Structure 1
Amino acid sequence: MTVLNDPAAILAKSSMTRAQVIAVGLATLLNALDGFDVLSISFAAPGIATQFGIDRAALGVVLSMELIGMAVGALVLGNAADKIGRRPMLLSCLAVMSAGMALAATSDSIAILSAYRLFTGFGIGGMLATTAAVVAEFANARYRNLAVAIMAGGYPVGAVVGGSIASALLSGGGTWHSIFVFGAIATAAFVPLILWLMPETIAFLVLRHGPAGLSIVNRQLEKLGHRSADHIPELEPGTQKVRWRELFGPGLASVSILLLIAYFMHIMTFYFFVKWVPKLVVDMGFEAGTAGSVLVWANVGGASGSLVLSLFTQRFPVRTLTILAMIAGAGAVIWFGQPHSDIATLSVIAGTAGFFVNGATAGIYAMFAQSYPARLRASGTGMVIGFGRGGAALGPIVAGFLLASGLTLPWLATIMACGSLIAALALTVLRYREHGVA
């Protein structure tokens, strides 16, 4: 039996080394940072609404500004990561995110705050697209789905830790500004860690240098703890050029379109839930600090859901798990919207919803890694995330206007939960298109 000895085969078939595990772990921490950065505005929302005297419709727009930035960032910077490299893009995104968080803390008007959150979201979007590619390219074939799902699970972990810190800051007399100051410092602290512990991926180096770059690739393989490759396969003409139209060309068009629909609709449900939980709980008559704790429990459930789904991917198809999680998540969001009289019940339901909704998000990230080849991985992921984040931005805005129009919470939750149900349908169609109706 012939043993392949090109870089891709070496990484796919070999055990993961300490350096690879560290790189995956660091990418997971970066996603945790994203979790805090995105949800920082949710923890700050009650204070922002009080200081600037805005209604729920206007607050819904503010809550969505970094999500709009994320859409643009994922599209633009995800594509750029396939051109300049994963490591430089991670460093650039950290710089943008840290500056945006610091500037948000200085805001003295809703317009200025919205602009800074838009800027912050631009960096977060690029980070999401790049970390997904990084994990897929550092993990071996056996653990790729597990690694990507664990990376996605970093998001709610960051929200849990960050939310606990935010609640402590607010309970200790701090204002909403202090949440952004903490976020800026935590984000900047990752720059030296990336410089020290995150090498460039082998997949990108192969694409950048081709067969002539064998010595460069082998040096990186050695740093990762692997044997040298004896050759790099010839690249097809144009392989090193990333073209957007390829994502919708033969063989990828239906995959891209259905993944885009699934992500758009599911993430609309996801961000309605995580963005509006604190304000909805306050509107139910509970204190702001207590409302933040419900969101923390939602993210505890989210972290658990990502972990459980990631473990299950070792035994069951990731797409089947993702579809089931989307359906269960929709049911839990509807349940949350029903009348409840105590905070303990709300926390349990929020944790259940987080478990399934974030578990489904982890699953769909793993599907991105499976669906696109290495040279299009960051671009494809960025494209789906970028356009899909339109759903993320739309969720809180639509919810805000529906609430302002007088719609009751039970009906609102039912309408917004339909996003995950439509997403499950899109993934089911994708499954049948790939494997045939029979």
Structure 2
Amino acid sequence: MSNTDPRALIAREPMHRRQIIAIAVATALNALDGFDVLSISFAAPGISKEWGIDRAALGLVLSMELIGMGIGALILGAMADRIGRRPTILACLVVMASGMFLASTAQNLTVLSAFRLFTGLGIGGMLAATNAIVAECSNARRRNLSVAIMAGGYPMGAIVGGSIAAFLLGTTGRWQSVFEFGAIITAAFIPLVLWLVPETIAFLLHKRPAGALEKINRTMVRQGRAALSELPPRDEEPRRFSFGEFFAPGIASVTVLLIVAYFAHMMTFYFLVKWIPKIVVDMGFPPASAGGVLVWANVGGASGSIVLSLLTQKIGVRPLVIGAMICGAAAVTMFGQGFTTLASLSIMACIGGFFTNAATAGLYAVIAQSFPASLRAGRHGLVIGVGRAGAALGPITAGLLFAGGSSLALVAFVMACGTLVGGIALAMVRYRENAIA
């Protein structure tokens, strides 16, 4: 980029408060995703009691929005590259708010599952669009920090939203109140995005829609920068992407191993965060207390992502993630080993959340380093999209094991093996040979 290209100015100059605000809103949107994904976990004990469903069926409904997220990340995420980040975020908010409200009206498991699948479509698209917003609004010096802060929004949303959900469950006794709250808070973000999040300059320069210069100048002036007299030269038109490039010589093993690592780890991660409330309720504790244990798992998760981000300044990210996966497997196994008090369950959930979420946050950085620049945009959708199948399979597998009479200790051990397999697969990735800055 030339010095007259506004992307170069954004990359090298200090960040304006409007850039920081846009990143803060994107972080809040990621926090919203964190609550929306786990809302079904908070509501699950009440649903199971009211409808009398077994654990196998509950495992299926716990996974439906995860399936939707995988589809949404691939389809709606691609839409963000065609129509823009801002309109995609607004569309995803409408989908999410509608899905949350409809879930509160469901009268049976089939209908609830369909509404959770629909909600997941919006969540998956939102994740892809907010990643782009943060990367394109940050300067070069603060980009990694901004992405790390945004990633930390996910468990923070579960902490704050989970605390509210626990309060609602304790005061109303209705599982529907969790989804009603989610619908209201999601809809509230629509005017916030319209007001504070403009389309990114990087997207406008790449796609050049009608009025691009005027939109870019409006953003530039609001950021305290000089307006452009004309658009800079157009980037070279990218060649059409071929799916087969992911499996070309030198890349195929990296692609397969990363998919295995992410898939297997997501099975463990979402077993932990999806099943905690139901497991705790089945021990005889009230749903509000069970929600509190899940909140502690996310306190650990938020801490884990922050600690890993800080450690990457001194230690390579891949060995950190492998270490977090090994420790996470041990912690998830220990969670099932006979702890019967709320305090001990909360501590073990916090430790498990710390390591499994640290590994999840670090995996995104590893993926970014694992492909050449020409494949970097497409690899996110492929690896994350396929990996979400592992996220969906985790709660389903656990539900089937529980329904078959397996003890919590055995289920926790089996599910912990997922992140252990992920660590082994990640150790086999030779990503430095392929990384391009």
* TM-score normalised by the chain length of structure 2: 0.90
The percent identity for this pair of structures is 60
Corresponding residue of 1:395: 394
The within-5 A match list for 1:26-425 is 26-209=25-208, 217=216, 219-226=218-225, 232=232, 234-239=234-239, 244=243, 253-368=252-367, 379-425=378-424
Alpha-carbon distance change, 364 to 134 in structure 1, aligned in 2, over 3 angstroms: farther
Q: One-letter code of the match for 2:39?
A: S
Which amino acid is the alignment partner of residue 82 of structure 1? D
How far is 1:201 from its partner?
Answer: 1.8
Structure 1 residues 236, 259: closer, same or farther in 2, change over 3 A? farther
Q: Which has the higher contact order (CA 8 A, sep 6+)?
A: 1
Distance 1:74 1:406 in 2: 35
**1:13 to 2:18 alignment:** no
Q: Does the Cα contact within 8 Å between 2:370 and 2:434 map onto a contact in 1? A: no
**C-alpha distance in 2, partners of 1:346/1:102?**
32
Residues 59 and 399, structure 2, Cα contact 8 Å, conserved in 1: yes
Greater shift, 4-13 or 272-281, is seen at: 4-13
Decide which moves more: 72-81 or 404-413. Answer: 404-413
In structure 2, the gaps of 5 or more residues are none
Alpha-carbon offset, residue 59 of structure 1:
0.5
Tell me the equivalent position of 1:430: 429
Farther off after superposition, 334-343 or 314-323: 314-323
Letter in 1 for 2:25: L
Matched positions, count: 433
SS of alignment partner, residue 105 of structure 1: helix
Query: Deviations along 1:251-293, whole A, 9 cap, x unmatched?
Result: 7655544332222111111100000011111223333222111
Q: For structure 1, which segment, 215-224 or 190-199, has the greater mean C-alpha deviation from structure 2 after superposition?
A: 215-224
Q: Give TM-score scaled by structure 1 length.
A: 0.90
Do the aligned partners of 1:203 and 1:374 also contact (CA within 8 Å) in 2? no
Q: 1:427 to 1:137 in 2, by over 3 A?
A: farther
Per-residue CA shift, 1:146-192, capped at 9, x if unaligned?
A: 22122111111111111111111111133001110000000000001
Inter-partner Cα distance in structure 1 for 2:40 and 2:111 = 14
Pairwise CA RMSD: 2.8
- Structure 2 counterpart SS, 1:41: helix
Deviates more, 1:160-169 or 1:179-188: 160-169
Give the Å deviation of 1:139. Answer: 2.0
**How has the CA–CA distance of structure 1 residues 243 and 80 changed in structure 2, closer, same or farther, with 3 Å as cutoff?**
farther
* 1:247/1:22 CA distance change after superposition, 3 Å: farther
**1:105 counterpart letter in structure 2:** S
Q: Deviations over 1:313-348 (max 9, x none)?
A: 344333333222222222211111111132111111
